[in-house]
Structure 1
Amino acid sequence: MSAEETQEDLRIAALAQGIRGVSGKLKRRLREQGGVGDLTPSQIAVLLRLEKDGPATTSELARAEAMRPQSMGTVIVALESAGLVHGAPDPTDGRKTLLSLTDACRQWASEGRAARQDWLARTIRARLSSQEQDQLATALTLLQRLVED
């Protein structure tokens, strides 16, 4: 391996580390703004899955999140206690319970997204010049290319 290749590898590794660090900090800051601080990552994952995929059983959620059904049961109990999910009999199999988001959860999620969006827009406007905002738009395009399937 040449010195040039080593320098390139080091530069790319530093970029990867920087992106990971910044994305983690951004995620934490957005979480603070959206009021999800009291939920565990597992609880957030379940809410997002129910929002995206629709009603599901505890077993289906456990499989989708690679968790034991008992562990998922604990997550579901906490979300039900918080009024974020509710269960109803499966119309095709009354022995099963389908879990779905409550209206209160949908409203809370919408308000949280709006708060995060508002904070980020205000922060971009306040801290970045017009030229830097253009650079950010370019960087966003590149980051989107990195995560495309």
Structure 2
Amino acid sequence: MEDQEIAALAADLRVVVARLRRRLREESGPGDYTPSQAAVLLRLERDGPATVTELARAEGVRPQSLGANVAMLEAAGMVAGTPDPSDGRRTILSLTDTARHALASIRAAKQSWLVRGVRSTFTDAEQEQLAAAVVLLQRLADS
């Protein structure tokens, strides 16, 4: 492929991925969170309990910027804070069971839409092509 063709492919890929992300966001329903709030929930789910400072560092933002999002998540019952046993001035945040159930529900809705879409949109041969493309996309994401 020529450089110009690769550039066009990259542009098309970016547009398609953005459209797919929007559709997945739509499928998760009205209980969805802002991208910043979702980032906090997903970080706590993936990495476990953390302080606001640790979350901010991991997300590349200032702790003050994250404070409002954490406060909203606490008010919604999605995040709970407990005093740090080694430093009572710090609060360690963790997901609540409500948050874990909400995240599972959001994932299930997205998964369900994808399954329905793959089944109804693609032939068996196209589904196999899609599976091969996913392997390639994973490799690209890991590069």
Aligned residues: 143
Q: Which residue of 2 aligns with 1:58?
A: 52
Q: CA deviation digits over 1:64-107, x for unaligned, max 9?
A: 11212211111111111221111011122222110011100000
Deviations 1:96-148 (A, max 9, x none): 11001110000010011111111100111001111111111111111111122
Q: What is the rounded CA distance, in whole Å, between the counterparts of 1:10 and 1:78 in structure 2?
A: 46
Listed as ranges, the gaps of 5+ residues in structure 1 are 1-6
Please name the residue that 2:9 is paired with. 15
Moved over 6 A (4+): none
Match of 1:73 among 67, 72, 95: 67
Q: Within the alignment, does 1:141 sit opposite 2:135 as a pair? A: yes
| TM-score computed with the length of structure 1 as normaliser | 0.90
Aligned pair partner of 2:113 in 109, 119, 123: 119
Q: Structure 2: 5+ residue runs without aligned partners? A: none
Cα distance in 1 for residues equivalent to 2:30 and 2:59? 19
Residue pairs, 1:15-54, within 5 angstroms: 15-35=9-29, 38-54=32-48
- Following superposition, the deviation at residue 40 of structure 1 comes to 1.4
How big is the alpha-carbon RMSD for the aligned residues of Structure 1 and Structure 2? Answer: 1.5
Identity %: 58
Structure 2: distance between partners of 1:27 and 1:37: 16
Change (3 A) 1:25 1:37: farther
Find the counterpart in structure 1 of residue 77 from structure 2. 83
CA-to-aligned-CA distance 1:7-38 (integer Å, 9 cap, x gap): 71111011111111111111111111123664
CA distance, structure 2, for counterparts of residue 36 and residue 53 of structure 1: 26
Distance 1:96 1:109, change over 3 A: same
